[in-house]
Chains A and B, each alone.
Chain A
Amino acid sequence: DAGITQSPRHKVTETGTPVTLRCHQTENHRYMYWYRQDPGHGLRLIHYSYGVKDTDKGEVSDGYSVSRSKTEDFLLTLESATSSQTSVYFCAISDQTNVPGELFFGEGSRLTVL
């Protein structure tokens, strides 16, 4: 299994509070991704990173920010959590060199915003 660790695995918070989810990898892969999974919508891309300090938006990036100061860590921040951000968040990594490659996923972080 790819070495991907997400933390926290479960979190309950209140509307308006900041939340940071962490993805840590031990594979030294260049690409990292944050997805959210919701019933009826499947998995949707929030943000991705193609290197240290290199990030870009996905299809559902509003209300989220990311940072990647080290190869192994990719942080997802909800500056002011809303109930619509209640979801399961998945981190993924990929060693994409010359061609698009295989993505590997973490176990997910379940976030509930009350």
Chain B
Amino acid sequence: KQEVTQIPAALSVPEGENLVLNCSFTDSAIYNLQWFRQDPGKGLTSLLLIQSSQREQTSGRLNASLDKSSGRSTLYIAASQPGDSATYLCAGIMDTGRRALTFGSGTRLQVQP
């Protein structure tokens, strides 16, 4: 059974700090990995998608990397802002038949003003 793990479960940082969120997965035959943001009581907003042939993707202050050999992905947030406070979820597709995401349990981020 494929598993996705996110550490830490919660993180509090002061505004302006650069931070890294970690995601690990058990199946190195991952086809793509997607990072989401979820605000309380809301749906999931897709942040970045990394295809298996890619090593990283960037969008504004966000950079996500994928290392299939080590089973790890990281989400780097530069110059954090209070508006970045949310839960961040990583998820991977590891079965090309089903093509469904397997999710980690998320990292709850609080950026202090």
Chain A residues in contact with chain B, CB under 8 A? 31, 33, 35, 40-45, 48, 50, 56, 58, 90, 92, 94, 96, 99-108
Contacts and interface: CB of A to CB of B under 8 A. Distances in A.
Nearest to B36: A105
Given A42-B103, A104-B46, A99 B98 contact: no
A45 B100 contact: yes
A56 B99 CA distance: 11
A99 B44 contact: no
A83 B77 CA distance: 39
Which residue, B43, B96, B105, has most C-beta atoms of chain A within 10 A?
A: B43
B41 to A, nearest CB: 8
B34 A43 contact: no
A99 B31 contact: yes
Chain B, interface SS category: strand
Which residue, A45, A90, A102, A103, has most C-beta atoms of chain B within 10 A?
A: A103
Contact of B100 (A58, A90, A106, A107): A58
A43 B46 contact: no
Contacts of A100: 31-32, 93, 96, 99
Contacts of B75: none
Contact of A103 (B31, B34, B51, B96): B34
Contact of B99 (A31, A40, A43, A44): A31
B89 interface: yes
B24 to A, nearest CB: 14
Interface in B67-113: 89, 91, 93, 96, 98-106
B42 interface: yes
18 contacts: A41-B105, A42-B103, A42-B104, A42-B106, A45-B100, A90-B44, A92-B101, A99-B51, A100-B31, A101-B49, A102-B34, A102-B49, A103-B34, A103-B101, A105-B43, A105-B46, A107-B42, A107-B43
Given A100-B93, A105-B44, A42 B105 contact: yes
Contacts of B36: 105
Contacts of B49: 101-102
A45 B93 CA distance: 12
